[in-house]
Each structure stands twice: as C-alpha cells, then as structure tokens.
Amino acid sequence: MPTILVLNGPNLNLLGQREPHLYGSETLADVEALCTRKAAAEGFKSKFHQSNREYELIDWIHAARGTMAGIVINPAAFTHTSVAILDALNAYEGPVVEVHISNVHKREAFRHHSYVSARADAVIVGAGIQGYGFAVERVAHLAHALRGPK
Ligand code: CA2
C-alpha cells in the first residue's frame, strides 16, 4: 500500500504537555492516530516521525524519494530558519503539504516567513491538530492525481 510520510520538527514531542493555549491539549500520539486514520480512509498507510535534530528530518526526506507517496511536514521552528530542509524537499518529487497547528500569522513577525512554503503544494495554518487531517487528505488527493486513472 502507498505510504504518506508525516514529519514533525523540534519540540513537538511536548504537544499536550505545555502551552495548551497555543497548541491545544492533545498529544503527538493523538496526532499520529489521526494521521493513521485519515490515511487509511484514503487508501494509504502513514509513517510518522518527530525529531529535534534538523539532519534527521533531512535524512527522512531523502529516504522518501521514490518510496513515499507524499509528505506532510510540520517543521516547527525550522520552518523559519531552514534552507536545508527546503533544499531536501526540493529534491523530493511527490506532493508536499506544510502544516502548522497555530496561526503563525497572528503571532510574532519572525513566524510569518516560511522557507518550506516555497516548495509546499499547500499550507494549512491555525486549524489545530485537525490541520494534519486536512493535510493528509490533500496529499492523498494529489498523490492519486499524480498516479492518474487506474
Ligand atoms: O504552529 C505550529 O505548528 C508551529 O510549527 C509550532 C512550532 C513553532 O515554532 C512554529 O512557529 C509554529 C513550535 C512547536 C513547539 O511545540 C510545543 C508544543 C508544546 C509545548 C511546547 C512546544
């Protein structure tokens, strides 16, 4: 079965434990369960990772080339700093959807720019963890379209 890769950047392992006013009270395990359910409903498996290390996220993106049907990524703070993650995504051939739990545009000015958005096929911000579900659905739709009619 084709697989959607879901990547999460630094500090998202703390989801549900701190800052519920910004990121809600659900945990990263809840996000993973949501992605698994949404992917299955679209006929996909999902593979879910979180890392606090930039190189690890880059290595997962490299490994997705030719193996993953699409990528959903919340690069967290690397969104605003990482040309390296943008370069890795530019070398990936499939659909990419960027997701942010909070509405970054209502927050500090330094969160308003995303390097990753220059590559993303869609960007979902401010929908809470529900945004991951939308992102998985969109990647599945784009992946189906790329594969064409059966
Ligand atoms: O809104 C988002 O999803 C962000 O990607 C979250 C990042 C932030 O740097 C981006 O600007 C927007 C931060 C993730 C940190 O997650 C935490 C979760 C709970 C407690 C502390 C941090």
- What are 53-82's pLDDT values in tens digits? 999 999 999 999 999 999 999 999 999 999
Domains of the chain are 3-147 (3.40.50.9100)
Answer yes or no: is the C-beta of 8 below 6 A from any ligand 1 atom. Answer: no
Q: 129-139 burial, b for 16+ CB within 10 Å, e for fewer?
A: bbbbbbbbbbb
> Which pLDDT score, from 0 to 100, does residue 98 have?
99
- Nearest residue (by CA) to ligand 1, atom 20, is 18
Rounded Cα–Cα distance for residues 121 and 56 (Å)? 22
> Which pLDDT score, from 0 to 100, does residue 83 have?
98
> Which pLDDT score, from 0 to 100, does residue 59 have?
99
Q: Which atom of ligand 1 is nearest to the CA of 75?
A: 5
pTM for the complete prediction? Answer: 0.97
Q: Is the pLDDT of residue 107 over 90?
A: yes
Answer yes or no: is the C-beta of 12 below 6 A from any ligand 1 atom. Answer: yes
> Which pLDDT score, from 0 to 100, does residue 20 have?
86
Q: Is the pLDDT of residue 140 over 70?
A: yes
Residue found by looking up tokens 């659900």 in the block: 26
Residue found by looking up tokens 């690069």 in the block: 75
Tell me what the mean pLDDT of segment 93-120 comes to: 98
Active site residues: 23, 100
Rounded Cα–Cα distance for residues 77 and 75 (Å)? 6
Q: Tell me the pLDDT of the chain averaged across its residues.
A: 96
Give the count of beta carbons closer than 10 Å to the beta carbon of residue 58: 20
Gyration radius of the chain's alpha carbons: 14
Of all helices (H) and strands (E), which one includes residue 49?
A: strand 45-50
- What are 26-46's pLDDT values in tens digits? 999 999 999 999 999 999 999
CA distances from 136 to 112, 120, 130, 140 (A): 23, 13, 10, 6
At residue 70, the 3 state secondary structure works out as strand
Token pair for 61:
């993106």
- The answer to whether 6 touches 35, Cβ cutoff 8 Å, is yes
Q: Is the pLDDT of residue 49 over 80?
A: yes
Give the whole-number percent of the chain exceeding pLDDT 70: 98
